[in-house]
Amino acid sequence: MGMTITQKILAEKSSQDEVKPGDIILADVDLAFANDVTAPISIDFVKKLGVEVFDKKKIALIPDHFTPNKDINSANQCKIMRDFVKEKNVPNYWETGEVGIEHALLPEQGYIKPGMLIVGADSHTCTHGALGAFATGMGSTDLGFAFATGKTWLRVPETIKFNYTGKKNRWVYGKDLILYTIGKIGVSGALYKSMEFTGSAIRELPIEERLTMCNMAIEAGGKNGIIQADELTDKYLAERGVKKEDYTVYKSDDTAEYSNIIDINLENIEPQVACPHLPENTKGISEIAKEDIKIDQAFIGSCTNGRISDLREAAKILKNNKVAKFVRLIIIPATVDIYRQALKEGLFDIFLNAGAVISTPTCGPCLGGYMGILADNEVGISTSNRNFVGRMGSSKSFLYLSSPSIAAASAITGKISSPEEVLK
């Protein structure tokens, strides 16, 4: 029987010739990482075992959620990480001033390669499947086990193939493709399944947009999202000093079995918006723009859409425009390198002239932590990945999800709007 990309990686990492959906395996981990919210529990687990980490070069600790520290509790969380890094001499650690959001930082710095098995104590670890790796999130105790042993147990998932064809319409990005897909199958439509994104449209999709798509696989319940590495992947990695001989590219067999195959034609997709309070509540911008939904805040950033291409798209809309009165526009580059590049390109001048506020890299507002919290009855539009009740603040607030272009346009008009409305 043929195998999918996911099956091939899991077979290799568990030293088996073949695995099939439902098999329970113990697999070798290539990279295990955690952040300032999740790492302290993992660290405590390792300390209670009284062991060393399995390979200090294969773990990473990234204080990105509440840094710069929001309060005393967040400062103490980070201190636990910092002390552990010093004690174990862990090289893969980034302090405030150099740290970025983990799911943007790790690919950017060349830590993610095709064929790897990656685990992280954060649900959006699935982001890294965009580079042809198997990447999945897990709880802090399971992550602590990986820290200590270099292994993790998994049930081999079934795979759904999503075949995307056709040309993108204007203002349609990877974010719109994944929102449309989640709207089509629902937030449990891929529960504990591998979401394999393929087709001619995916092969034309830039790496940063592939990262966005895989990032939100978890919002459909997926165990992982994955895209076969190709020439674009090779180029992306080469730019980060990663040599082709340093990784293995896996391809799904023609005879691989899928639990379902879903065909999606991009010509049928317009820019999408996910309405409260689930990512599956999607509508096309032409429909939602008619509803005259006024906003109080727009947020552009997060591990989903805080990359340089996202900021460039937002700048196209914001240039020579002003944020609407009483609307807050918050822009957070996902990493220091992205921050530096945006500054170099003059994007910050555009943002500041428009009336936006710019922050150092942090997850802050995405999880309702700080740096942009919604009050009772406020309405926000965000380029992040979740719009659950209370996700970005008050349980009485309302959150919509979109691409950076729509978020930027909405900040200008003061209501959820198409970029066309601003640029006409």
- Cα–Cα separations (whole angstroms), residue 359 to 241, 338, 364: 29, 12, 10
Give the pLDDT of residue 51: 93
259 Cβ neighbours under 8 A, 6+ residues apart: 21, 158, 159, 160, 193
pLDDT tens readout for residues 310-355: 999 999 999 999 999 999 999 999 999 999 999 999 999 999 999 9
Give the pLDDT of residue 160: 98
State how beta strands 158-165 and 260-265 pair. Answer: parallel
pLDDT tens readout for residues 161-180: 999 999 999 999 999 999 99
Contact 314, 331 (CB under 8 A): yes
pLDDT at 254 > cutoff 90? yes
Give the pLDDT of residue 64: 96
Question: What does the alpha-carbon distance between residue 298 and residue 408 come to, in Å, rounded to a whole number?
Answer: 7
Residue 401 phi, psi (nearest 5): -115, 140
Mean pLDDT of 363-384: 96
User: Which residue bears the tokens 């070069």?
Assistant: 57
pLDDT at 197 > cutoff 80? yes
pLDDT at 235 > cutoff 80? yes
What would the two tokens of residue 55 be?
């390979």
Mean pLDDT of 117-126: 98
SS3 39: helix
Q: Give the pLDDT band (50/70/90) at residue 1.
A: confident
Q: Output DSSP code: residue 395.
A: T
pLDDT at 424 > cutoff 80? no
pLDDT tens readout for residues 12-70: 999 999 999 999 999 999 999 999 999 999 999 999 999 999 999 999 999 999 999 99
Outline where 225-283 has alpha helix (H): 231-238
The DSSP secondary structure of 50-113, one letter per residue, reads: T---S-GGGEEEE--SSTTT-SHHHHHHHHHHHHHHHHHT-S-B--TTT---HHHHHHHTT---
Question: What mean pLDDT is reported for the chain?
Answer: 97
Domains and CATH numbers, the chain: 5-265 (3.30.499.10), 276-423 (3.30.499.10)
pLDDT tens readout for residues 210-219: 999 999 999 9
Mean pLDDT of 403-407: 98
Q: Give the pLDDT band (50/70/90) at residue 129.
A: very high
